Structure 1
Amino acid sequence: MTEPDCRRALDVARRNATCFVLGIVVIAACAADRAIAIEVRAVHLGLDGIYRLGFWTPILVEVDAEEPLTEATIEVIVPDGDATPVVYRLDWQEDSDFGRSRRGGAGEPARGSGDSAGDVVTYRAGGFIKVGRSTGLLTVQLLWDQEVVERTHFPLQSESVGRAVDDQDVIVMTLGRLEVVAERLSDLSRGQVATIRTAELEPATWPTNWLGYDAADVVILSASPTVAEHFANRPATRAALETWLRRGGRLLLAAGGAAPETLAADGPFAELLPGRFDKLVDLENTLRYEEFCRTADRLWSPERSQLDAWRVPRFVNLRGRVLLQETIGPTSVPLIVRHSYGLGEVAYLAGDLEGDDFMRWAGTDALLARLLPSRLQLAGAAAAEPLGAVGYDDMYGHLRRNLDDFRDAGVEPVRFWIVASLVLVYLVALVPGDFWLLRRLRGRMEWTWISVPLLILLTCTAAWAIAYGAHGTGMRINAAEVVDIDTTDGRLRSTLWFTIYSPRTARYDVRVLESQATEGNMPVAAVKPETILAWQGLPGEGLGGMHARGAASLFLSPYRLSPDRRDLQGVPIPVASTKTFRAQQFCTCGESVELDVQIAVGGAESELVGNVVNHLDHSIDDCLLFYRRWVYRLGTLAPNVETPLPEQWAPELSRYELTNNDVYDHDSEDLAYVLLMMMFYDQAGGREFSRLQNRQASYLDLSHTLASGRPILVGRADRGRLTASVDDHAAASDVVNQTSLYRFVFAPLTANSTEAEGGPVPTTAP
């Protein structure tokens, strides 16, 4: 190459190098500019600043930016129940506050499209996450073209983010101006082990997704004109509340201050009322309320109240249990009614909790204590079993312990004496044994360079063989499933807990599938089912509990929950360890509920007459038919065989059937036994019987439906509705040990009942 050619090539190389360096500088400058232009302003976690570990909770993130973020992805990273980080994806909010300018220009550009440079726009992203630890960090990260452009850390359990309540605490959510409720519930919990936390939400923050109510033990709703107007303007809030109720929620509805048009058949509260609204009537006094709460203080009187009359709604075609009523002429006016709503319950109160009368009344505390669910144990709560006695203080802890037991699958814990013996043999062989052996070999002490490594190799091989034999080589899954079917509307709720045992350290993609059994004569969804999968933590402060202090994860790299909450991607499980998950599926079966039941009340309270036909393609074993205080043992329901109910003398008290007149067996390894206790927790005696609370799966307890006169049939099936899938492969039958219980809830045999908690209903004629 000539000298001019060399100079020309050198100039080209210099220009290319200069362009490359300038490109790097420009890219770095753009990245720096983008990092500076984006700021995570605030994080709002929970309900009114409180949330419960292990439950779905709403989160709202506010981000300031000088450029549109609609193409960016926002994610939140929090620890799960094992302190392993998990990633949740949030959605940009598109409500009236979305993209509202906070400072800079005066415009309010839609979806954050700023009008001028330097105009900072506040964006909001929201969703639902599950937090598993009260300590650690909540990380918010923004991604642009799969690249993280902003990452901000917030400490959990801080005032700026929110605070996790203790496991025994009660969360009561109020919808309406119910300051009296918050004040009286605070007084009610004073001196008790459990603290009542009241979440007072503004109408603009009421959940529009039923997951927003997941952490609430009970919701108190005021049927005021203001609430009715909000429900009318934002029907998604009412739909979310009704969905949560149908799936096992508890609601206290105070309708004393409602307008007639809001109680009508086309009003926003019609579905929640105990009957069809007739008209408003005036009561001359409130003596019935005072007797119900056992107080001499007058709730209302014309002399001391701003109300001219105590006006309450009257209903016809009542449903549920009437706990308190007033007789006016030939008709009765219900004042307090409990009735089922799907798998949940509504307690109706003919009273305006927003009024001044309940604020000053001495009986408000007692009224709230009797109207809220009995499982909350608001007064005189029995203490839960100490952690040192059983290692857990929640019914789910017993279920979790059994799910973690893989001895039937050949996974045995290595006994201490085996480890101690191996160490002792190793020490004896290493020092005196090696010396004695080499001395016997004519003093060839230099052979220790061979004998010691050989001894170490043999010891390691023996330890590996012991661990290999105890832990096995294959993945194993233990599962427990409860399938609830409300035969009145065909709605189905399936809850599956499953624990994966991993013989090696690995990452798995986890999801749930409908089992092959659904391809036969199983309840078929009329529309696409809603499936929700997530990790499941252990409550309490014991070893492995979500409130345990000082816990750290072995993994720093997070795994992900898919945006539709159906898949978990890259879940890490250490060697010879387990991890537990919970999946729920909701759907409507239409007319495919596969039980033909024709039963009626006989001549006595405990007598049912009729028959049951199982149209499934497999049998249901160990069937029990619960009705009020009684239970019928039906045995096995064979496919397409009519099974008559036993004679009148056959029923037993349901509490005896559940408890066998014995103490709760904390050592039971029978998953069906634990599930049955969780399914009828109050009916079996609640905390007084089990010495455990039932907070993690309280929705599973349908004892209240028995009190409403709804028969319930429970049986065990060999086939479940859901099955676990790992790495896109359904687990084989020889890998999964699954216990499945089916529970069919029928319509009440009587329209309504009139009774009181602890005695007859007080009634009087004016």
Structure 2
Amino acid sequence: MALLDSHVFRGLASFVFSLAVVLCPGRSSGDVAASELTVELGVSGVWKLGHAVPARITLPPELAGQAQYVVFESIDGDGVNVRYQQKISGVSSENSDFWMTVRIGRNKTPLSVRVYDDEPSEGEPVASGQLLGDEVVGLPSDQRLVLVLGETMGLEEVVRSSVEGGASFTIAQVSQAKGLPIDWRTLAGYDLAVLSSAGDELINSLTEPQIACLDTWVRRGGRSIVCLGTGEPLPEILLKWIPGEVEGLINVRNPGAIEALVPTEFPLRNLAVNRIGFPAGEVPPAEILLALRSGNQSLPWWISTAYGHGKIDVIASDLANDTLAQWPDRNLLWKKLVGDSLGANRGDESPLAKNVSDTSYLGYDDLAGQLRATLDVFGGVRVVSFGQLAAVLLGILVIVGPVDYFVSVRWLGRPQFSWFFAGAVLVAACIALTWFYLSIRPNEIRVNTAQIIDIDTRSGDVNGSLWAHVYSGTARTVDVQVVDNQAESVGATLQLDWQPLPGRGLGGLKSMQSLSSGMPAYSVIASSGESNAVSVQGVGVPAAGTKCFSSTWLSHTEIVGQSELQELDVADQLSGQLVNPLSVDLREPALFYHNWYYSLDSRIPAGGSFTIAPDRIPQGITRRLNRRRVIDDADMITPWQPADRGNLDRLLELMMFYSAANGPTYTSLHHRFHHQLDHSHLMDSDLAVLIARVDDPWASVQVDAGGQGGVEVVQETDRAWCRILIPVKPPERELSRFRADGSSR
């Protein structure tokens, strides 16, 4: 009987299980699909902690038409779980790959991905995948990183070798077009991109979003080296980047100028060089750093040009051709080519290594850390120092100790009274401290922001970077969004995410400590609307604490006026009419050109102008950046204090021109995390840079306390600086020479 009951039970169980499978096919297919969902981080598996990371997700082909949303669960720099959510688009059964952008704040932390066929809040995932802790290992946030499309052309010969300044770097090589992401933010952690037209098959197979990704990254301040091979025609993106026309190959028998560029004992012979021509009778729109002789011709071989706020170096030969590939000192040539992008101007000089130890007590060794510490200072929040707290505790001990003894024993002669006296003192102290704590802790939400806006007057392109700190007196969850305030802006694309802190300090990316304090997971949700705006929802802010955010955006604005500036024939200086190209007033403006800066009026109104006379004498750029002063016939530099938290304007200025200010030795801090903001390379171009503060911020942060009605949001610090590119005409002497020659080749 027992055996019969067992068989009946098993049969009934099998029937129920089969019925469940039939009635729930969606759940079953999801379980099967979960094992097929794959996730790849970075470019060729290379990515950096704290920076935007491209995640390529591959769906099973049968889910390509069903999947609607994806949720990527990561962890931020404070150890709090963060969910990135976006709508899936552009997938099909033939191509089921898609990209999303995330940030990862801790190494060796399990990550998960879930795909839904409806709103994530309304259903179960149809597929899921997970990356185990051992699979989540990124590079340090300050690691040098080079993107190579196609062949490395021998660049690997100098990887992790000593270049100018002792820098080392890692190569992320893209060998197939599908390996390049489509979001320019995922390239922000790269120091350099290297392309070769010899790999035109790879470059020509890039999609429009991938080309736009590369192009936008360079325009925002990225640097690229383009090597010209023998392939024809040139890919579209290279036609935009090369400041001239490629007119064919010439065999240079004796390229001695290259041998003179590096210390070598090995001669070069018979090098294929692309002839690059410029419009006849015009000054070349680029700087020719090295030219080779072939007969009576001068062939530009190394050309440097500004592209937006970035820089492109064009090499007229393929560094992978047989002549250079067999040259024993090709690695020395590479060191010379990449030294400017990966070496001294990025803050790796040996003096800095000695100075950083002096600032280790601060908990940061990067300007990003000082920026974060500065924005953490709120004028409406009173901070109690450790010394003040120690003084209060010492005072209580004195009262319940010697004072209690003197009053109870020596004066009143009633030792038993000591119990009542000490108890009353402690109760009163608790009440007083509670009242004091509530009085210095504001109930409202307070916000500090800083932003740098880059504007190119030639194209009207605008790109910005913003940092925001949100303070709350009580623990609460908030929703945060960044909005564009400019009515003239067109097609604004804004992004928002948590703000990383490089280093080993408390809350740093290298710190193993978690500051989550039980904070709930929050979501970073990409809008599917035309603005592509991103909001952060349900983020927890601890009591009397802050949560830090960073934002970037792209837009286009109307230029209301163009400047007419020209370089003088002597002294490398300017004259002409400087025009405010914006519809807002410019405060505290300064004009930079080459190694000079011009002090201007304290305010230039919207559309207003300022005349720079030929006899106006500028000052050296370090007079402004390092605050050089002459005191008692001695040239003195105002020292920079890495611990200073009260000079936000100067800090932003140093971030914009770190190398020009000799930042490593001057600040004793690195500038690696936001290195793309350092546009000191523009000092070598034929562009003037106008910096100024604006009263009305270009973008603003909106904070919503959700269901907690009546909570006031107070905007405290809100500093916005513009960096405006202005073209400069060449000197009249140079113009006359090229007009007389009838050619600029």
Query: Counterpart of 2:84?
Result: 88
Whole-Å Cα distance in 1 between the matches of residues 497 and 648 of structure 2? 21
Q: Deviations over 1:25-80 (max 9, x none)?
A: 94998487456424245431112222112211111234669877724633111111
Query: Counterpart of 1:104?
Result: none
Whole-Å Cα distance in 2 between the matches of residues 693 and 83 of structure 1? 24
1:25–1:50 distance in 2 versus 1, CA, 3 Å = same
Query: Counterpart of 1:482?
Result: 452
SS in 1 for 2:260: helix
Query: Counterpart of 2:219?
Result: 246
State the shift of 1:488 in Å: 0.7
Q: Do the aligned residues in 2 keep the contact of 1:321 with 1:753 (CA within 8 Å)?
A: no
Query: Counterpart of 2:738?
Result: none
Query: Counterpart of 1:395?
Result: 367
Q: Deviations over 1:423-461 (max 9, x none)?
A: 34555666888899899999897997x988766553332
1:423–1:539 distance in 2 versus 1, CA, 3 Å = same
1:174–1:414 distance in 2 versus 1, CA, 3 Å = same
Q: Do the aligned residues in 2 keep the contact of 1:73 with 1:144 (CA within 8 Å)?
A: yes
Q: Do the aligned residues in 1 keep the contact of 2:67 with 2:115 (CA within 8 Å)?
A: no
Question: Within 5 A, what are the aligned runs for 1:61-76?
Answer: 61-62=57-58, 70-71=66-67, 73-76=69-72
Q: Deviations over 1:612-650 (max 9, x none)?
A: 233656532221111111111012233254321255352
My pick for the range that moved more, 530-539 or 453-462, is 453-462
Amino acid at match of 2:554: F
Q: Deviations over 1:242-261 (max 9, x none)?
A: 12111221111011x13242
Whole-Å Cα distance in 2 between the matches of residues 474 and 372 of structure 1? 50
Whole-Å Cα distance in 2 between the matches of residues 319 and 491 of structure 1? 20
Whole-Å Cα distance in 2 between the matches of residues 240 and 742 of structure 1? 23
1:373–1:207 distance in 2 versus 1, CA, 3 Å = farther
Amino acid at match of 1:137: P
Amino acid at match of 1:319: P
State the shift of 1:595 in Å: 4.2
Match of 1:745 among 717, 725, 733: 725
Whole-Å Cα distance in 1 between the matches of residues 367 and 448 of structure 2? 17
Identity %: 23
Match of 2:258 among 277, 289, 311: 289
Query: Counterpart of 2:555?
Result: 587
Whole-Å Cα distance in 2 between the matches of residues 398 and 339 of structure 1? 32
Query: Counterpart of 2:298?
Result: 332
1:511–1:236 distance in 2 versus 1, CA, 3 Å = closer
State the shift of 1:412 in Å: 2.3
Q: Do the aligned residues in 2 keep the contact of 1:478 with 1:498 (CA within 8 Å)?
A: yes
Cα RMSD after superposing both structures: 3.7
Query: Counterpart of 1:418?
Result: 388
Is 2:674 the counterpart of 1:709? no
Query: Counterpart of 1:312?
Result: 274
Is 2:612 the counterpart of 1:645? yes
Q: Do the aligned residues in 1 keep the contact of 2:200 with 2:231 (CA within 8 Å)?
A: no
Whole-Å Cα distance in 2 between the matches of residues 479 and 311 of structure 1? 50
Whole-Å Cα distance in 2 between the matches of residues 572 and 169 of structure 1? 30
State the shift of 1:94 in Å: 4.8
Match of 2:42 among 46, 54, 61: 46
Under a length normalisation based on structure 1, what TM-score does the superposition of the two structures give? 0.80
Q: Deviations over 1:440-489 (max 9, x none)?
A: 999897997x9887665533322222222333332221111111110011
1:678–1:375 distance in 2 versus 1, CA, 3 Å = farther
Amino acid at match of 2:556: T
Whole-Å Cα distance in 2 between the matches of residues 152 and 69 of structure 1? 18
Whole-Å Cα distance in 2 between the matches of residues 127 and 174 of structure 1? 21
1:167–1:273 distance in 2 versus 1, CA, 3 Å = same
Query: Counterpart of 2:9?
Result: none
Q: Do the aligned residues in 1 keep the contact of 2:99 with 2:181 (CA within 8 Å)?
A: no
Whole-Å Cα distance in 2 between the matches of residues 331 and 748 of structure 1? 28
Q: Deviations over 1:509-551 (max 9, x none)?
A: 0011233xx35xxxx12x3211111111111112221111233
State the shift of 1:691 in Å: 2.7
Q: Do the aligned residues in 1 keep the contact of 2:568 with 2:731 (CA within 8 Å)?
A: no
SS in 2 for 1:735: strand
Is 2:246 the counterpart of 1:277? yes
Question: Within 5 A, what are the aligned runs for 1:247-266?
Answer: 247-255=220-228, 257-262=229-234
Whole-Å Cα distance in 2 between the matches of residues 71 and 165 of structure 1? 32
Query: Counterpart of 1:181?
Result: 155
Q: Do the aligned residues in 2 keep the contact of 1:90 with 1:126 (CA within 8 Å)?
A: no
Q: Deviations over 1:306-344 (max 9, x none)?
A: xxx523232214322111012445542111011011111
Is 2:456 the counterpart of 1:461? no
Amino acid at match of 2:377: D
Question: Within 5 A, what are the aligned runs for 1:182-581?
Answer: 182-188=156-162, 194-203=167-176, 204-224=178-198, 226-228=199-201, 230-232=203-205, 234-255=207-228, 257-262=229-234, 267-299=236-268, 301=269, 310-317=272-279, 318-328=284-294, 331-372=297-338, 374=340, 376-377=342-343, 381-382=349-350, 383-384=352-353, 385-386=356-357, 387-388=359-360, 390-406=362-378, 409-426=379-396, 457-515=427-485, 518-519=486-487, 524-525=488-489, 527-555=490-518, 557-564=520-527, 566-581=534-549
Q: Do the aligned residues in 2 keep the contact of 1:634 with 1:646 (CA within 8 Å)?
A: no
Q: Do the aligned residues in 1 keep the contact of 2:642 with 2:668 (CA within 8 Å)?
A: no
Number of residues of Structure 1 aligned to a counterpart in Structure 2: 684
Q: Deviations over 1:115-152 (max 9, x none)?
A: xxxxxxxx655311011222432122344653445765
State the shift of 1:285 in Å: 1.7
Whole-Å Cα distance in 2 between the matches of residues 125 and 436 of structure 1? 78
Is 2:701 the counterpart of 1:724? yes
SS in 2 for 1:215: coil
My pick for the range that moved more, 28-37 or 395-404, is 28-37
Question: Within 5 A, what are the aligned runs for 1:688-699?
Answer: 688-699=665-676
My pick for the range that moved more, 553-562 or 35-44, is 35-44
1:660–1:275 distance in 2 versus 1, CA, 3 Å = same
Whole-Å Cα distance in 2 between the matches of residues 153 and 200 of structure 1? 25
Whole-Å Cα distance in 2 between the matches of residues 529 and 680 of structure 1? 26
Amino acid at match of 1:180: G
Whole-Å Cα distance in 2 between the matches of residues 351 and 573 of structure 1? 55
Whole-Å Cα distance in 2 between the matches of residues 252 and 563 of structure 1? 33
Q: Deviations over 1:173-228 (max 9, x none)?
A: 10012252123324446x9865311111222312233233222211100111x434
1:333–1:688 distance in 2 versus 1, CA, 3 Å = farther
1:274–1:638 distance in 2 versus 1, CA, 3 Å = closer
Structure 2 regions of 5+ residues with no counterpart? Answer: 1-11, 528-532, 629-636, 735-745
Is 2:658 the counterpart of 1:681? yes
Whole-Å Cα distance in 2 between the matches of residues 278 and 151 of structure 1? 53
Query: Counterpart of 2:530?
Result: none
Is 2:633 the counterpart of 1:666? no
1:452–1:331 distance in 2 versus 1, CA, 3 Å = same
Amino acid at match of 2:303: V
Whole-Å Cα distance in 2 between the matches of residues 704 and 196 of structure 1? 20
Amino acid at match of 1:400: R
1:692–1:374 distance in 2 versus 1, CA, 3 Å = farther
Q: Deviations over 1:248-307 (max 9, x none)?
A: 21111011x1324227xxx442111121223322212221111112322224x25xxxxx
Question: Within 5 A, what are the aligned runs for 1:157-168?
Answer: 158=134, 160-161=135-136, 163-168=137-142
1:483–1:94 distance in 2 versus 1, CA, 3 Å = closer
1:421–1:398 distance in 2 versus 1, CA, 3 Å = closer
Query: Counterpart of 1:37?
Result: 32
Q: Do the aligned residues in 2 keep the contact of 1:168 with 1:194 (CA within 8 Å)?
A: no
Query: Counterpart of 2:75?
Result: 79
Amino acid at match of 1:665: Q
Under a length normalisation based on structure 2, what TM-score does the superposition of the two structures give? 0.83
1:573–1:228 distance in 2 versus 1, CA, 3 Å = same
